[in-house]
Structure 1
Amino acid sequence: MNNHDLTRRDLAVVWHPCTQMKDHEHLPMIPIQRGEGVWLEDFDGNRYLDAISSWWVNLFGHAHPYINAAIRRQMADLEHVILAGFTHEPVVRLSERLVAITPPGLSRCFYADNGSAAVEVALKMSFHYWHNRGHKKKNRFICLSNSYHGETLGALAVGDVPLYKSTYGPLLMEVITVPGPDCFGRKPGESCEQVAERMFKVMESTLEKHAQETCAVIVEPLVQCAGGMRMYHPRYLQLLRDACDHYGVHLIADEIAVGFGRTGTLFACEQAIMTPDFLCLSKGLTGGYLPLSVVLTHDLIYDAFYDDYTRLTAFLHSHSYTANPLACTAALATLDLFEREDVIQRNHRLAQVMAESLAPLKDHPHVAEVRQHGMIAAVEMVKNKATGEPYPWQERRGLTLYQHGLRRGALLRPLGHVSYLMPPYVITEAQIQFLAQVLAEGIDLACRD
C-alpha cells in the first residue's frame, strides 16, 4: 500500500468533512498509516507533527501505551451495553470522577456521543426544565456573535459563523445574538478586561429585556475556536454568571474544545471561579481515542425531571452508543494521566515557550495579532496592519501556509487567515519552536503579493 493507491480508492467512495471535494483534483490528501506521540506517518514514510491535535481532540499523543492497554482490557470484558435500565462500571467511575474535578455544584452526568450532541442535550434540557416548572414562555436562547457550537440543527442555530450556518437558515430556530467580548476589537489603550466589561453591558440589557422568554445563554468560555480562535477575558464569565442568576436564565458553558487543560486550567470556567448550569465536554474527554460527550448539570435541574412516570416529565433523549464502555475507559485512562503526571504545570511551561517562540511575529507587517490562552495560540494575518483590513477570503492564503507546513512535516490547518497551534501535551519545547518557525515561514509565503 502507498499514498497514491489509498488516495485513489478514497476518492472513489469517501465524502470528507468540511471539504470542497473538488480541491482534491489539485490538492493531494494525506493517507495516514500510523501515529505515535505527536507524529503522524503516511504510507510513503513521511511524518507530520500534529500541531492541531487532529481537530483538537488528542491530548497525550497518538497510540499512547497507557490508554491503549486500558481499552484492550475493557474490550475483553464488555464492548457495549444499553444504558437505559442497565449500567456498567466504567460509566459509574467516570461520572464520579467528573463530578469531583469539574466546577463545584455539578452533580449529574448525561452522556452523548459527540460535541454537537452534547450541545443539543443542554439546549433541550434547559428548555424542558422551564417547561416542567411551568414557564412555558421560555423558549429562546442567547448566544454570542462569532460563536460556534456544532453542526446539528440546534447547535448550528446557537452559533454565529456564517460559513457554516447561513445555508441552513430556513431550518434553524431563531435565537438572540449579542455582540461578544472578543478582545481583538479593543480600542487603543483598552485592556481585555475592560473590553469584557464594556461588551457585557449589551448582554445585560439583552437579558433584562428578554429574560422572560429566554431559557439559557450559551458561550464558549475564553476562546471562540472555530470562529478564528478569538479570545476574551474571564471577567465576562463572572459578570454573565451573576446576571443569569439575577434574571433567572440558565448558563451553558460549551467547553468541548477548551476543556481538559487547553486554556491553562483544567476547565476554562475555573478562571472565572464560576459554575455553569450545564457544562458540555467532549473532544479531549477520551484523549482523542473514541467519540464521547457529556453534559454535567446540578441537582436543581435534575430534580425538575424526577417524578412519577405518568407525569411525563422524564428527559426522553437517547443515543444508541450512550456512555459506551470502551469510550468511558479511554476517558478514565485520560484522567489517570492527568493525575499521574503534573500535566497542567508542565503545560504552563510549554505555553510560555509557545509565547516566546511566536512573539517575533507580532512585528510582522501582515500580522494583526498574536494571542494565546494556555496551550492555544493564534496568529491573525491581515492585508493591512494599520487598518486591520483582512485579506479577501477568496484568496485562501491560509491554504498556502497549510501546504508549506506539510512540506516541512507539520500539520497546520488554518481557519481562513488565522493560523493556530493547539498541540498534544506531550510535545517538546524544541518541537514547539520548530512549529513556530514553520508558521513564520508559511506566513511569509502566504502574505506575498
Structure 2
Amino acid sequence: MILNNQALLERSRRSVWHPCTQMKQHETMPLVPIRSGDGVWLEDFDGKRYLDGVSSWWVNLFGHNNPRIKDAIRQQLDRLEHVILAGFTHAPVVELSEKLSALTGLGHSFYASDGASATEIALKMSFQYWRNSGKPGKTQFISLQNGYHGETLGSLSVTDVALFKDTYASLLRASTQMPSPDWRQAEAGETAEQYALRCASAAETHIANHHTEIAAFILEPLIQCATGMAMYHPAYLERIRDICTRYDIHLVADEIAVGFGRTGTMFAVEQAGVRPDFICLSKGITGGYLPLSVVQTTDEIYAAFYDDSVARGFLHSHSYTGNALACSAALATLAIFEQDNVLAVNRTKAAYINQRLQAINELPVRHLRNTGMIWAFDVQTENPGFQKNFYREALQRGLLLRPSGSTVYFMPPYVINEDEMDWMVTQTLEILHKETA
C-alpha cells in the first residue's frame, strides 16, 4: 500500500484516539504523519523534516535511529523477547537492576511500563509499608502545587493540574498540596534559595500537624515539567529530605521526566545530595525506544514485605513487567552515558544554547531559565491563541515545539549539534518576533 501524508492522517483520525487531545481540533489542525527519524530529525511521508525539540514527549535521549540501542534490541530479540517475571528472571532485568542500584543507592527495582504506573506503584508500596509496619493510620499523601505525576487514578490524585483532574474529581483520593518552590513566585528581593526554604518551612508546618496520617511526600525534583517548566533551588530537596526523615514520612522522587541527565546530573536529587525512599523512573530510561518504568526503593522498605504471608507481599503486576527487550534498550542507554561522557558534553551544549538565547531578552519574554538540558521562558502576550499559533508556525518551519500555555521550552535529544542548536534558536526567535509584533 502506497502511503502519503494525507492518506495516513485520514486513516489515523478514523481509527486512533490520540492522547491528551481534543480530537475535534484535528479538523483544522492536521496530525503530522511521520515515516522515519534520524538523530534529532523526524521525516514525514512527503519528505519534510522536523527538528524534534521536545524529544518526542521527553523520551528520546540519543536520537532517533540510534545504532547502538537498535543493535542491543536486535541481539536480545535473538535470545529472548519476554518471559513472565513472576517466578522467573532473565539477564537483562538483573543487570539493569544492578546498574540502577549502583547509580541511585536504592536496593530493589520493581518494573512497569510507563510513568503513571510507576507513581501508582510507589504510592501503593508506601501505603502498604506502613500497614505492614504496624502504622495503618499513615494513609495520606502530600505533593506540590502545580505538580504532575500521571493520569491514572492514583497518580492523578497527587497531581495538581485542574484540566486533567477536575473531570475525575469524584473518583480520586484526596491529597494535600504544599506550596511550590517555583522561583518565579519569589517576592521582590528574595533569592531562589530563600524562597525554596520558605516553602519548605510551610510544608513542615503542615507535616508537623499531620505526620501521623501522612505516608509519603511525592514531588518532581528541581523541575515541575508539565505545568510550564517550573524550576526551583536544590535547597528545597535537602530541607524536605530532613523533614521527612524527622517526621517518619517517605520521600518519593518522581524523576520520570527529569532523570537520566535532563537536569545536568544523572538524577536531579544528586544536586541536593539526598537519597529518596522511592525513585520513579521512565521516559528516557530506554532512550525513547520501548515502554519501561521502574520504582526503586530502600532495603528497609523491601524487608517490610518479605514474609511467609503472601498477603504481606506486594501483589502488583502487569503482563510485561521487566520486559527483556525494554531492559536491553535501557542497558544500551546507560552504556552510552558511560562511554560517551554524556553529562560533560551536555554541559558544553547547554552553555552554547544559553549564549545563543541571550538575544531573546530583546523580546517581550520573562523568566528565561535553564537547568541542564531543559530551557524555558514565559512570553508576555495577551493572545489566547498564542500556544496554538506558535506550535503551528513552528511546524510549518520544520520545528517541533509544544508550548505550555505562554511558556515555550526546549528539551532536545542530547545528540543535537551546534548547527542544529543555532537553527532551533533562530527559528524560535523569528516566530517570537512574528507572534509578539
Q: Structure 2 stretches of 5 or more lacking a match?
A: none
**What residue in structure 2 maps to residue 370 of structure 1?**
368
1:359 is displaced (CA, Å) by 2.0
> 1:340-392 deviations in whole A, cap 9, x for unaligned?
10100000011111211222223422x12111101000011123xxxxxxx46
Distance 2:56 2:63 in 1: 10
Structure 1: which amino acid aligns with 2:20?
C
Structure 1: which amino acid aligns with 2:179?
P
Distance 1:216 1:429 in 2: 43
- The reply on whether 1:305 has 2:305 as its aligned counterpart is yes
**What residue in structure 2 maps to residue 101 of structure 1?**
103
Identity of aligned residues (%): 54
**What residue in structure 2 maps to residue 143 of structure 1?**
143
**What residue in structure 2 maps to residue 401 of structure 1?**
390
Structure 1: which amino acid aligns with 2:7?
D
The answer to whether the 8 Å contact 1:143/1:158 transfers is: yes
**What residue in structure 1 maps to residue 240 of structure 2?**
240
**What residue in structure 1 maps to residue 50 of structure 2?**
48
Q: Structure 1 stretches of 5 or more lacking a match?
A: 384-390
- The reply on whether 1:180 has 2:180 as its aligned counterpart is yes
**What residue in structure 1 maps to residue 158 of structure 2?**
158
- The reply on whether 1:57 has 2:46 as its aligned counterpart is no
Distance 1:397 1:228 in 2: 14
Runs of 4+ in structure 1 off by over 3 angstroms are none
Distance 1:97 1:446 in 2: 47
- The reply on whether 1:116 has 2:116 as its aligned counterpart is yes
The answer to whether the 8 Å contact 1:381/1:417 transfers is: yes
**What residue in structure 1 maps to residue 379 of structure 2?**
381
TM-score by length of 2: 0.98
Pairing of 1:3-82 with structure 2 (within 5 A):
3-82=5-84
> 1:31-89 deviations in whole A, cap 9, x for unaligned?
00000110000000000010000000000000100111110111111111000000000
Structure 1: which amino acid aligns with 2:397?
R
Structure 1: which amino acid aligns with 2:348?
R
The answer to whether the 8 Å contact 1:402/1:442 transfers is: no
**What residue in structure 2 maps to residue 259 of structure 1?**
259
> 1:121-179 deviations in whole A, cap 9, x for unaligned?
00000000000011111110010000000010110110101111111111100001111
- The reply on whether 1:441 has 2:430 as its aligned counterpart is yes
**What residue in structure 1 maps to residue 418 of structure 2?**
429
The answer to whether the 8 Å contact 1:400/1:442 transfers is: no
Structure 2: which amino acid aligns with 1:121?
I
Distance 1:161 1:362 in 2: 29
**What residue in structure 2 maps to residue 349 of structure 1?**
348
1:14 is displaced (CA, Å) by 0.9
1:416 is displaced (CA, Å) by 1.4
In angstroms, what is the RMSD of aligned CA positions?
1.0
The answer to whether the 8 Å contact 1:287/1:334 transfers is: yes
SS at 1:284 equivalent? helix
The answer to whether the 8 Å contact 1:147/1:227 transfers is: yes
**What residue in structure 1 maps to residue 360 of structure 2?**
361
The answer to whether the 8 Å contact 1:265/1:344 transfers is: yes
TM-score by length of 1: 0.95
SS at 1:289 equivalent? coil
**What residue in structure 1 maps to residue 200 of structure 2?**
200
Structure 2: which amino acid aligns with 1:116?
A
